[in-house]
Amino acid sequence: MAAQIVLFDGFDPLDAIAPFEVLAAGSDEVGGALEVELVSAEGPRRVISGTRGLALEATGVLDPGRPGYLVVPGASGPVDGDPDDGVETIPVLLARMAQSAAAPLIKQALTNHEVTVAAVCGGSLALAMAGLIENRHAVTHPLGMDVLEATGVRPVHARVVDDGNLISASGVTSGLDLALYLLEREYGPHIAHAVEQLFVYERRGTPWRRPPA
């Protein structure tokens, strides 16, 4: 099992680091059974976030055939501004990610029954802009819910939304809740609880799960 955290230019650092740390701690609890890695569509490289030039190192290439989880963060940047004036707003960064080399790889992952795609905050908007989650249930940051619905996604106002092989979380800090939910879903509540105790953090909200067909 692997958890691939997908980095792209302009990503939000907390969207990536919060799940990374929680999943890494969960991996320690299960004897290293979950391999957690920062990846990019281009392979190993230095990826600059949208927050004050903070950069993280992707150590692997995004692999849609690798069983486990693919975690897609949102973007960080100004909310307002004119892109024609060179302002790289969050919508611009998310749209760019939706048109990047990562999009077709994530599309492949969504067709792989051994992979679950998990999006944090604006990550679900990027997937929606790429046309990958039409008619699926998802959540994003409160400021983007109308946009999410406009792309044909079924918006759900919950902190974590489970639509089978697509799981999404709302605001930036919800990456913690998302990762804890993934640990509970995969390894059981005792593992998620152990990580909660380690991080001195209690999950918020009740996860929404798609009703059985």
pLDDT digits (tens, 9 = 90+) for 97-112: 999 999 999 999 999 9
pTM for this one? 0.95
pLDDT digits (tens, 9 = 90+) for 16-34: 999 999 999 999 999 999 9
pLDDT at 32: 96
Ramachandran bin of 86, using left for φ above 0, alpha for ψ from -120 to 50, beta for the remaining angles: left
pLDDT digits (tens, 9 = 90+) for 198-207: 999 999 999 9
Q: What is the mean pLDDT of residues 151-169?
A: 97
pLDDT band at 176 (very low <50, low <70, confident <90, very high): very high
Q: Is 81 helix (H, G, I), strand (E, B) or coil?
A: coil
pLDDT at 47: 98
Give the CA-trace dihedral at 18, 22, 28, 32, to 10 degrees: -80
User: Which is more confident, 31 or 172?
Assistant: 31
